[in-house]
Amino acid sequence: MPDVASHRPSRWVVARVAGAALAGATSAVVAFIALPAALFVLIVGISLPPLDRKQKWWMWVAVAVGAIGASIGSVRFVVGIAAHGIVSAGQGKTSRYAVSHLREVLFAEDGMRKTARLDHDGDGIGSAALLGELTGQSPLRGRDLLDPAVLSPRWRPVIDTPIGPAARVGGYLFIVCLPTTDGGWTAKPDTAIDEERAERRFVAYAWPDRDTRGVHDAFFIDQHERILTSTNHDGKEPKYASANFPPPCAAAVAESETASEWSVWREKKPRTTLPGAE
């Protein structure tokens, strides 16, 4: 007759089983420990020593409780924490693209300044242009179409907004604003531009299109490559979103009431000189 006492689990085995049950049950609530808890429960389950029926029953129940808890926690981790991380990574990638596209506008405006295609006073320093002018969609102010265009056709501003026409590129809407003769800013081609100020000033914005899921940040750039970002929250919804709600041209300009909502993007320092205007 087998010695039942010899099949009694040691205190160490009992402690491991109890720990597995506790770890699994806890991970159902604290999801980030679910994966190591599941591994621990598995190791405990496959390493149980030979036991009599009564002892085996309660130990396997304890292991099963741990396994169920770890399974629940693992699902919560994947759906909640891991999925959120994947979405955040995607949002970060979309935001980097928005900044990269704003730099395309910056380089195009640098070219306008250096080539002086819009040189109202003949000093060899060109004025900045609106998006439609940069893409060759509309004539340069008082001149012919820009040929060749300095921005590709995908930049053509075909989206009407309250502040002027915008372009849709990569899930964001983009617009360029120039200084006006009355001291303000405009993105509308039929508004009088202050050509002298436009030689050394322009601002551009990128804000989320309505079809961009989970992306809220808005971005700003100026002639010195000063890049700013806004978390762009107005309660639960983005403040600037879709063609209906663009940022005002002066939204991030120092003198505006909303300038405090914008901060430097990734500690990016502006450049100290302007190409073509030294």
pLDDT tens-digit readout, 151-180: 999 999 999 999 999 999 988 999 999 999
Nearest of 176, 154, 182 to residue 163 by alpha carbon = 176
Q: What is the pLDDT of residues 198-223, one digit of tens each?
A: 999 999 999 998 755 566 899 999 99
* CA 5 to mean position of chain CA atoms: 64
10-residue stretch averages of pLDDT, the chain, 278 residues long: 54 76 73 72 73 71 76 68 45 73 96 94 94 94 87 93 94 95 95 96 93 75 96 81 94 91 92 87
CB 201 within 8 A of CB 125: no
180 DSSP assignment: B
What is residue 177's predicted lDDT score, i.e. its pLDDT? 98
DSSP 3-state of 155:
helix
Q: Which pLDDT score is estimated for 73?
A: 67
C-alpha distance from residue 162 to each of 21, 22, 119, 228, 248 (Å): 61, 59, 29, 22, 9
For 20-67, strand residue ranges (E) read none
Measured over all CA atoms, what is the biggest interatomic distance in the chain, rounded to whole angstroms?
Answer: 112
| Helix H or strand E encompassing 122 | none
Tell me the chain's radius of gyration from C-alpha atoms: 31
What's residue 10's pLDDT? Answer: 74
What's the whole-model pTM score?
A: 0.69
How far is it, in rounded angstroms, from Cα 188 to Cα 133?
11
